[in-house]
Amino acid sequence: GQQLNQSPQSMFIQEGEDVSMNCTSSSIFNTWLWYKQDPGEGPVLLIALYKAGELTSNGRLTAQFGITRKDSFLNISASIPSDVGIYFCAGGLGNTPLVFGKGTRLSVIA
């Protein structure tokens, strides 16, 4: 089945640094979603992208839907301690369930 390669698997950064993570696929998607999972909680949607090339921001978060429809990235600017968690990308094709990446575990050192 479809698989998403999410990288990096984990990151340790200093508070205030910018963060970049990405997701790639061997097949195309019509939707890209980014979720964040806080410790002990379920994933929560951060950003949804519906069009190839689309660039969307949500506060300090910026995500892009790759022009080839096979990739997406998420940037976090000026990280803060509450950014700690696991970030998941998910690809959607409209007629099958979302495919999730394995997550990027972010640790922020104050």
Partner 1 sequence: DAGVIQSPRHEVTEMGQEVTLRCKPISGHDYLFWYRQTMMRGLELLIYFNNNVPIDDSGMPEDRFSAKMPNASFSTLKIQPSEPRDSAVYFCASSLNVGGAEAFFGQGTRLTVV
Q: Which residues bind partner 1 (CB under 8 A)?
A: 30-31, 33, 35, 40-45, 48, 50, 88, 90, 92-98, 100-103
* Cβ proximity of 46 and 29 under 8 Å: no
Q: Least Å distance between CB 53 and partner 1?
A: 18
Other beta carbons within 10 angstroms of residue 88's beta carbon come to: 23
Q: Least Å distance between CB 81 and partner 1?
A: 22
Considering the complex, state which of residue 4 and residue 108 has its C-beta at the smaller distance from partner 1: 4
Q: What whole-number distance in Å separates Cα of residue 21 and Cα of residue 76?
A: 9
Considering the complex, state which of residue 77 and residue 93 has its C-beta at the smaller distance from partner 1: 93
DSSP 8-class letter at 55: E
